Amino acid sequence: MDTLIVQPENETQQATVEAVLKALKVSFKKSKKGYDPDFVKKIKTSETEFKKGKFKTIPTSDLWK
């Protein structure tokens, strides 16, 4: 069988989806896994630095040197 990934936008949608799955006797797993907080912090820091102009461009011809 296929795996479905459902991403409700609010608690009402989540409750409705869970109720439907239970009524149909479909097994499901709930997971609140997100990104590692350290990873998120690094990405946000990088975005901030980029907006401030703190980045380096590399010419395509120099990529493999």
What pLDDT, in 10s, does the model give residues 22-37? 999 999 988 887 788 8
pLDDT top residue among 63 and 19? 19
Q: Sorting pLDDT into bands at 50, 70 and 90, what band is 56?
A: very high
Measured in residues, the chain has a length of 65
What pLDDT, in 10s, does the model give residues 43-53? 999 999 999 99
b/e map of 22-56 (b: 16 or more CB within 10 Å)? Answer: eeeeeeeeeeeeeeeeeeeeeeeeeeeeeeeeeee
